Amino acid sequence: MQIYYPSCNFTAASPEAAKKIRAYLSERMPVAGCCRLDQKYDGEEAIYFCQACRQTLEARAEQNGQTLQSENLFVYLTKDRLFPWPDYSGLTVNVQDCWRDREHPEIFDAVRLALQKMHIEVHEIDEIREKSRFCGNLHFEPSKPENIRLMQQYDGLPIEKMPPEVEKALMREQVEKYTEKLTVAYCNRCLRGIRTGGGKGVHLLELAVGTYNG
C-alpha cells in the first residue's frame, strides 16, 4: 500500500498548494501525519517529496531492521496519466537541484519531465543533477575566496547558525549562478536559500498544482 507523507514545512509555507495536492492524493491513498510522529504506516511504501521526510523515514526503517520502500512524489506524478498538469507556455526557468538528492537520479529526471509536461523551458546552470553542491543553509560549497574565508571563520558551525549577513552572502553566491528571473526548486531548504540570497524562487509543487501566479 502507498502512503502519502506531506511535508510540514511545505504545508506551512504553501498551504494552498499543500491542500490541493493532499486532496488529489487522498482519493488514491491514505495520507500520513508528520513523518516524525506518525509511525502507523511504517513498512508501507512512502510517497514523499521532502528530503527531510525521506531521511527521517529511512532512519526509522533502518532502526527497525527494514529498508524503506519509497517513491518520490514527482516520479509518481509523472507516471500518473490523470494528473492535470497546468500549462505555463512561455515560462523559462533555471532548476536548482538538491545536494541531498545526489544519489537519486530518478528525481532529477522526474523534475525535468514535470516541467516539460507544463510546457516550461529549462535553461540549465553548470552545477546540475549530481554535481549540485547546494541545499540552502544546510549545505553549500562556496567558490568565491571571500566566502571560503567566511566558512573557515565559522568552521564547524552550521550555516543556519551563522550571522544572518554571513548566510545571506553565501546564498547570494549561489543566486549569482542563475541566468533566468525564476528558479525552480523542489527542496524546502533550497528554496529558502534562493530567497535568502535575493533570488526569485518557486517550489515545483506550487507549479504542479497551479497555485503559482508569478
pLDDT score for 46: 97
pLDDT score for 156: 84
In tens digits, the chain (214 residues) has pLDDT values of 999 999 999 999 999 999 999 999 999 999 999 999 999 999 999 999 999 999 999 999 999 898 999 999 999 999 999 999 999 999 999 999 999 999 999 999 999 999 999 999 999 999 999 999 999 999 999 999 999 999 999 988 999 999 999 999 999 999 999 999 999 999 999 999 999 999 999 999 999 999 998 8
How far from 48 is each of 40, 55, 77, CA to CA, in Å? 16, 11, 11
Distance of alpha carbon 69 from alpha carbon 52, whole angstroms = 16
Distance of alpha carbon 134 from alpha carbon 194, whole angstroms = 10
Q: Which residue has the cell 565559522?
A: 154
Distance of alpha carbon 160 from alpha carbon 135, whole angstroms = 11
Could you give the 3-state DSSP secondary structure of residue 65? coil
pLDDT score for 147: 94
- From first CA to last CA, the distance across the chain in angstroms is 37
User: The whole model's pTM is what?
Assistant: 0.95
Burial (CB < 10 A; 0-12, 13-18, 19+), residue 139, is middle
Burial readout 176-201 (b: 16 or more C-beta within 10 A, e: otherwise)? ebbebebbbbbbbbbbbbbbbbebeb
Q: Which three cell numbers stand for residue 201?
A: 524562487
pLDDT score for 186: 98
pLDDT score for 213: 87
pLDDT score for 35: 94
